Amino acid sequence: MSIAASAQPQWLTTVDIIKRLVRLKRITQEEGEKFLSSPRSKSELALHPIEQVVNSGLIDHNSGKAFDLEELSSWLAKEAGQSYFHIDPLKIDARGVASLMSFAYAQRHRILGVEIHKDHVVIASAEPFVTGWEDNLRHVIRKDIKRVVANPADIRRFTVEFYRLATSVDKAVGGRGETSAAIGNFEQLLELGNVANPDANDQHIVNIVDWLLQYAFDQRASDIHIEPRREIGQVRFRIDGVLHNVYELPMQVSMAVVSRLKILGRLNVAEKRKPQDGRIKTKNPDGLEIELRLSTLPTAFGEKLVMRVFDPDVLLRSFADLGFGQDDSRRWNSMTCQPNGIILVTGPTGSGKTTTLYSTLKSLATSEVNVCTIEDPIEMVEPAFNQMQVQSGIGVTFASGVRALLRQDPDIIMVGEIRDLETAEMAIQAALTGHLVLSTLHTNDAPSAITRLLELGVPGYLVKATVLGVMAQRLVRVLCPNCKAPTTIDDKDWQNLIQPWKASKPDHACAPVGCLECRNTGYRGRAGVYEVMMLSESVKETINEHCDLERIRKVAVKEGMRTLRLSGAQKVANGMTTIDEVLRVTPSSSLAIL
């Protein structure tokens, strides 16, 4: 007999859950009795019965693993004959669902609106047999109610967060005043507001900013976009390289949020006519320090703001964690261990160049060496480096910065980007005088970096004398390990990926499926694909004032360089990503040749 058959229209108890689990032989009678007789704190007893089961560490005899809250919630839905609903905050109109009922009503009955349709609303609850609230709510909203079961912890959390956000937005619209904040030094650490109580903070714009940052950290966003539209402000997060719509703010609230963030980023709030850059340092929900780089842009409908999120933990990751294969790692380490020379990293914005350079510098920054950087702007503050920022307004450029750094007795210099001949000449001078220089260029692939230096006006003999190697990189989405499925690869698709090169087609690969862990995208996280070109004697022989890019590429491949497409093909063969994903982010051979 199921819980539904025996349950009365009342709250579930641990006895109900334990009895059913025993009947299904998911736990033994002895384990159930031991759980029911064990002492539990008042706070533990206040939790939903299935949460108490999960927290107890009981082992599910069906799976051989500890009970999981998501799985038990889904099981409860089946027992009650209702659908299971996973609450994804990125897909819910928080302000809309908060208008369905009061916060007190939602908390009292432990329910939360999750979808609003023309003729009905979807209400989530972890108490599928409590029905006393249905008639009252149906009478108030004048729509049919469809019930679903959701994770009780999610219902409790998002009830607070959705209503807190909706209250802040509504009150901000009703009477918005300018917010201000005491601005400290460059390293000021901002404490995000208390989220435990919807009424804990009456500074409504501050509340919205807190929510925005907390959600971004929680959803693993790499960028936060606040974009003005004609009548609303659109908030979007970039997650695993793809933008997702998150929320729509009233225009005046969106403007106030941008102003608040500009204050925190030490920008000129009154200046809305020209782009500005700033930075914020704060903490994520786990207490780890996070840096955000702010950039504003005047648009037709107002000021657009983008925040790039930098996680300092990336500096602690190994090269294998970043996506380096054994051969790539060996070739890269053989270059970075040299006492002098230039190493270049190429790729478009957002391809992971900064992460690669910072991780490399972190591994090289021992107590025996002096590591100095000149950046525009400083992306992550790292105590092990001596970091300097470009300030063109007072004449501090990349070139003048390198010139100054050379008088600081450096061992290793990182130049944010080689943009012009003057910067290239200073980097070459630094390399010729016994320093290891790391920098970036914006080119499609590794061989193109050589021709770019020649186009800037650097003589070929200096390129041969100083450049140790070039690495091009891209980021591909990684298949979700929780749901990816085995598949086979079509011959035509494989040839399209590797042409004009040759590589054996793998017998098996993996395809995206989609689950709760990856938000039904089939992908979770990103990893790099790399093209590492070392300047061997054979490659150097191809470099002259009128060198042929295609010839450089062919010689480099013969010397062991694996192109971006071939590097991606290796990850496809390893089941890490898909052909479509590699094709999406890497240039074709014909484009690379150009």
All domains in the chain, ordered by first residue: 3-81 (no CATH), 84-171 (3.30.300.160), 176-310 (3.30.450.90), 314-473+527-563 (3.40.50.300)
Give the contacts of 396 (CB within 8 A, at least 6 positions apart). Answer: 388, 389, 390
The candidate with the shortest Cα–Cα distance to 472, out of 496, 457, 450, is 450
Q: Kindly give the confidence (pLDDT) of every residue in the chain, 594 residues in length, as a single tens digit, with 9 standing for 90 and above.
A: 456 545 456 788 999 999 999 999 999 999 999 999 988 888 888 899 999 999 999 999 988 899 999 999 999 999 999 999 999 888 888 889 999 999 999 999 999 999 999 999 999 999 999 999 999 999 999 999 999 999 999 999 999 989 988 888 888 776 544 433 333 334 445 555 544 433 323 368 888 898 899 889 988 899 999 999 988 999 999 999 889 998 888 888 889 899 999 999 999 988 999 999 888 888 877 777 888 999 999 999 999 999 999 877 777 777 888 889 889 999 999 999 999 999 999 999 889 898 899 999 999 999 999 999 999 888 888 888 999 999 888 989 999 999 999 999 999 999 999 999 999 999 999 999 999 999 999 999 999 999 999 999 999 999 999 999 999 999 999 999 999 999 999 989 999 998 888 888 898 899 999 988 888 889 999 999 999 999 999 999 999 878 888 999 999 999 989 999 999 999 999 999 999 999 999 987 654 443
Cis-peptide, bond into residue 377, ω within 30° of zero: yes
Nearest to 581 by CA among 535, 538, 532, 521: 521
Measured distance CA(347)–CA(165) in Å, rounded: 39
Rounded to whole angstroms, the maximal C-alpha distance in the chain is: 86
Provide the β-strand partners of residue 282.
190, 290
Across the beta sheet with 412-415, the strand order is: 386-389, 371-375, 412-415, 436-441, 341-346, 467-479, 523-534
What are the two backbone dihedrals, phi and then psi, of residue 143, each rounded to the nearest 5 degrees?
-140, 160
The answer to whether the bond into 410 is cis (omega within 30° of 0) is: no
Pairing of strands 232-239, 341-346: unpaired
Helices 421-432 and 447-456, packing angle to 10 deg: 110
d(CA 283, CA 312) in angstroms, rounded, equals 11
Contact (CB, 8 A) for 257 and 241: no
Q: Return the closest-CA partner of residue 261 out of 294, 238, 222.
A: 294
Closest to 101 (Cα-Cα) out of 114, 117, 89: 114
Give the 3-state secondary structure of residue 96: helix
Measure the CA dihedral 272/276/277/283, to 10°: 0
- Positive or negative: CA dihedral 58, 61, 66, 71: negative
- Alpha-carbon distance of 155 to 167, in angstroms, equals 18
CA–CA separation, 139 and 290 (whole Å) = 47
- Nearest to 380, CA basis, from 353, 400, 406, 401: 353
Per-residue burial over 169-200, b = 16 or more CB atoms within 10 Å of its CB, e = otherwise: bebbeeebeebeeeeeeeeeebebbebeebee
CA distance linking residue 49 with residue 147, whole number of Å: 20
Give the pLDDT of residue 373.
95
pLDDT for 174 equals 67
* pTM of the predicted structure, to 2 decimals: 0.76
In DSSP notation, 360-417 reads: HHHHH--TTS-EEEEESS--S--TTSEEEE-BGGGTB-HHHHHHHHGGG--SEEEES-
pLDDT of residue 592: 45
